[in-house]
Amino acid sequence: MTTLTAAAPAPRVHLTRWLLRLHRPALYVWAGLVLALAALLLVLHGPLTDAAADAWRRYDACTDWQRCRYDQNAIVRYKDWYNYATLAAAAVPFLVAAWAGGLFGRELESGTARLAWTQSSTPVRWLAFRLAVPAAAVAAGTALLVWLHHLAWTAGNGRIDTAKQWYDVWTFHTNGPTLVALALCGLAAGALTGLLSRRTLPALGLGLVLTGAVWTGLQLLLPRLWPTRTSTGEAFDALPNSSWTVWESPRGTVPAGDYHPASHYWPLQLTSTALLLAVTALLTLGCFLALRRLTGKTTAR
């Protein structure tokens, strides 16, 4: 009995190794993408931010514009590379959705999945490992990018006049755990569309569309995920630049508005992350229900 108990985890270990070997090219591409973006964010955090901050310091100190000298190229270079790095990180959930949709759609279209169900594992175990192993890699890599992006943004905040505010749509997500949750949501969305369509290209496209729909819905709900503050009259005109105004009174009326101060950053991050994880859980449940419909009672084994 002791021997049987010790040997029980072996199939899981074997299946994990098999998955890693099977998807080694995708793993290499993912690692290369993460390392390239990490290197860019480190350079952005250090030399690019320091050069741009020094240029802005010289610019703000100028009194004689005929003799004013500052490195305008450093300012433009920081802005460009910050945008490149931010948009590349924000694209990760969509890349994951496309990959997952293509993967599941191809394996069902080619019959590889059914062959695995009859030879190596049950459908439920096959799906569980197909989701768990990529999810671990996606979560780890995306979390690293989020941490480095937040460091880079923090280094420029308050030092560079044109630095993005915390509520900028791309900066907000790449600066916090919402990007990790959205990447996991993209993985589940791609898997679901692959199981439903059972074809490579349609699953790839539908995975992108579904992830985009989730992202759009989050943008619409985000300002309402945490109670706003209201300011009127002179107090509204004196709001700091770091405040995110989500509603303003019409022109010609008393100035008033609802806004999120900078202190609402983490409450908004955590509530949006929780919402995305709930959607991810529903999509994952949908994957298993779709698998059960596809295979019938074999999923119960």
Most confident of 26-30, 93-97, 105-109: 93-97
**What's the mean pLDDT in 110-133?**
80
The reported pLDDT for the residue numbered 20 is 65
Distances (CA, A) of 8 to 11, 12, 15, 281: 7, 8, 13, 28
Q: Which residue has the higher pLDDT, 8 or 273?
A: 273
Q: Which pTM does this prediction carry? A: 0.87
| Dist CA 23 CA 114 (whole Å) | 18
The reported pLDDT for the residue numbered 162 is 87
Nearest Cα to Cα of residue 172 among 271, 295, 56, 104: 271
**pLDDT above 90 for 230:** no
**What's the mean pLDDT in 251-268?**
82
The reported pLDDT for the residue numbered 2 is 41
At 55-68, the pLDDT tens digits run: 888 888 887 766 77
The reported pLDDT for the residue numbered 42 is 95
The reported pLDDT for the residue numbered 47 is 93
- Return phi, psi of residue 18, to 5°: -65, -40
**pLDDT above 60 for 270:** yes
- Residue 244's SS3 state is strand
The reported pLDDT for the residue numbered 59 is 84
| Dist CA 184 CA 7 (whole Å) | 31
The reported pLDDT for the residue numbered 65 is 65
Q: On the CB side of 127, how many CA atoms lie within 13 Å of its CA? A: 25
Check if the beta carbon of residue 163 is closer than 8 Å to that of residue 157.
yes
The reported pLDDT for the residue numbered 273 is 97
Beta bridge partners of residue 244, listed in sequence order: 260
